[in-house]
Structure 1
Amino acid sequence: METIDDAWRPRLAPHVRMVFNTARGEYALLSPETVWAINPTGASIVELCDSRRTVGEIVSELRSRYEHVADDDVRHFVAELVTKHGMEIDHG
């Protein structure tokens, strides 16, 4: 798994989009060949991954919204999506 640097700027890969299934009350990331179910925390991370914000800025924003944010969990979530080709990184 790739190590994520706080200066990198993540974004969803062009072929991936996030949707909310109202019938199930679940978020998912859709690509032509894969569906990833994600929880609301994951959706909050994805919403901030717009290639304008750095990973460090994303962690700071999440800390302002939520009481408990584990920096390493955010980095791990982004790294896992990068590894699965669901997210891309601008290396700043």
Structure 2
Amino acid sequence: MTDMDSRSRPRLPRGVKLRHDDVRGRWTLLAPERIFEVDATAATVLQLCDGERDLAAIVAELGRRYNAPEAVIEKDVVAMLGDLKDKRVLET
């Protein structure tokens, strides 16, 4: 997994877009010559990955939205974002 810390500022790189497919009722992450289907929770996380917020701010916001412990959220978010970074559809 790619290293990421609380100061990392994740963002979608140029050419990668998060889109909601209204016809199929699903979220997709569109990258050159690739498409990833993401669930609603992952889409919420990705919407917060704007390159402005750092990982700590993203985790804090998710903790507020879902009324969940930040330590649990951070572990899951880091795993998900690390996987997407390894696939080159996320930058930090």
Residue of structure 2 equivalent to 1:15: 15
Secondary structure of 2:63's partner? helix
Q: CA RMSD in A?
A: 1.0
Residue of structure 2 equivalent to 1:79: 82
Secondary structure of 1:7's partner? coil
Unaligned runs of 5+ in 1: none
Hey, what's the Cα distance between the residues in 2 that align with 1:70 and 1:18? 21
* Mapping for residues 1-80 of structure 1, pairs under 5 Å: 1-68=1-68, 70-80=73-83
Q: Structure 1 residue 88 and structure 2 residue 82: aligned?
A: no
Unaligned runs of 5+ in 2: none
> Which amino acid in structure 1 is aligned with residue 67 of structure 2?
E
* Count of paired positions: 89
C-alpha displacement of 1:34? 0.7
Indicate conservation of the 8 Å contact 2:8/2:54, yes or no. Answer: yes
C-alpha displacement of 1:67? 2.9
Hey, what's the Cα distance between the residues in 2 that align with 1:6 and 1:75? 10
Q: TM-score, normalised by structure 1?
A: 0.91
Secondary structure of 2:7's partner? coil
Indicate conservation of the 8 Å contact 2:3/2:82, yes or no. Answer: yes
Which structure shows the higher helix fraction? 2
> Which amino acid in structure 1 is aligned with residue 77 of structure 2?
V
| Regions of 4+ moved over 2 Å | 67-70
Secondary structure of 2:88's partner? coil
C-alpha displacement of 1:18? 0.6
